Structures are given as C-alpha cells and as structure tokens.
Amino acid sequence: MNLVLLEPADYIGEDHVRLQGRRLEHVRKVHRAGIGDELRVGLINAKIGRGRIERIDDSALDMLVELDDEPPAKLPLRLVLALPRPKVLNRTIAAAVSMGISEIDLINSWRVEKAYWKSPRLSMENLQMQAILGLEQAGDTVLPKIRLHRLFTPFVREELPHLIKESLSLVAHPQATGALPRECGGSVVLAIGPEGGFIEQEVQTFCEIGFTVVSLGTRILRVETAVAYLIGRLF
C-alpha cells in the first residue's frame, strides 16, 4: 500500500478522515505508523496528497489530509482480455490497474472454461477490490472501468469496432509472425487470449474488424507478465 485510498464516506470533517478495518490494520502492521507520521493518501477518483496521523489505536485511525496533487496519468490503453482462470484473475487485474490501464474488457473465448464465468471473483465487488489494490500499489486514485462480456461475437463484432477507432489495435497470438511495434505514440487496444491462445476463427474475427496480429516471441508468458512486457514495449 503505497497510497492509502480514501472514500468520501471516510470523512468526519472537512479535512479529517477516520479509517477502520483493512486500511487501519495495514497502517498499523505494515507501515507501523504512529501519531504525527505522514502517509501518502488519495481520494478515490480525485486528488492525492498527504495525511498526518492524529490518532491511531485498535479501533480507528484519524488523519488530517491535504490533497493537492493530480493522480498519475493513465495509459492510453484498452485491454481486451480473455477471462483468465479465477486463480489468476485477481493478480492480473491488480497488476493491470497498477500500470495505469483504465479500460479492461473481460471477454469469452473458445478456450475459456465455462466454469470460470461462475467464479465469485467476477463479482463487481471483488473486481473493484482488486482494482483498489492496484491503485494503492501504484499511488493512483482513479478506478478503471472493468466490463464483462460473456459472448465473444456480439462484443467483438458489434461493440469493439466503435471502441478501436483511431487506436492501434493489436491481438497477441502465439503463432503470429508480425513483430510488436514499439513506442506507438497514440492509443492502443490490446487483445490477449486465454491459456492456449485465441482459436483461428477468433483471430480472424479480430482481423476482420481491423486488428493486427502480433507475436510475443517464442516464450509463453503468464498473462500478467505479458501485459507488463507489452506496456514496456508499446509506451
């Protein structure tokens, strides 16, 4: 937690907040902070700054906060991701958000197991929690938009074409020969398949609406590793 993320409901006065639960525990046990210490804080979807601890005990943490700085810029990147295994989903969302991705579409694909769509981790509550962990890691405050698309074709054929206008649109595919561009300058839409990759027909659909197929090289990377690698390369 490199930034303590505040919600409007935390305010007990104009510049005073009171925290309990997870954030209190973290500040006590990990930061080991005491009265007078300053923490980096930020208000959700708003500015960042400093919080000065005025009280901290078993039951609550009170801070005087001053929020003057803008949160870090987001990446001009929309991530279209075949729904990962539940085990992998949480850390993928947190990692993507920590890097500044602000639009994430989780989509179906032939090789996504049907059972993944029934995971309790797909609740908006859990997805938001993972996003918050990513923001707290990176020092950001602005929640991403995460959407679920249980049907591949309606989303890719009907909705995605409107979302990729004026963006470089790339679909990562193990068998591709096209090299990845570097330092692309503008905005990017990046589609990444499930374990085993998108099937041929899905890749074809992406191509028909204007995507370019690119290779990530001969190594097969975990999805959160691949996303970080691609961001390093593209931006």
Contact residues for a copy of itself (CB under 8 A)? 2, 72, 95, 98-100, 137-140, 182-183, 217-222, 224-234
In the complex, minimum distance from the CB of residue 225 to a copy of itself, in angstroms, rounded to a whole number: 5
Q: Which is nearer to a copy of itself, 63 or 231 (CB)?
A: 231
Instruction: Give the nearer residue to a copy of itself in terms of CB position, either 124 or 220.
Output: 220
- At its nearest, how many Å lie between a copy of itself and the CB of residue 151? 26
The one-letter code for the residue type at 101 is I
Could you tell me the CA-to-CA distances from 162 to 115, 156, 221 in Å, in that order?
30, 10, 30
CB-based burial, 95-131: b 16+ in 10 Å, e otherwise: bbbbbbbbbbbbbbbeebeeebeeeebbeeebbebbb
Residue 66 carries which side chain, given as an amino acid letter?
A: E
SS3 state of residue 64:
strand
Provide, rounded to whole angstroms, the least separation between the CB of residue 29 and a copy of itself. Answer: 13
Q: Kindly tell me which of 160 and 188 has the beta carbon lying closer to a copy of itself.
A: 188
Distance CA 105, CA 98 (A): 16
C-beta closer to a copy of itself: residue 48 or 164: 48
Which tokens belong to 30? Answer: 């990990």
Radius of gyration for the chain, computed over Cα atoms and rounded to the nearest angstrom: 20
Q: Output 104 or 160, the one with its CB closest to a copy of itself.
A: 104
How near is the Cβ of 176 to a copy of itself at its closest, in Å?
16
Closest approach of a copy of itself to the CB of residue 224, in Å? 7
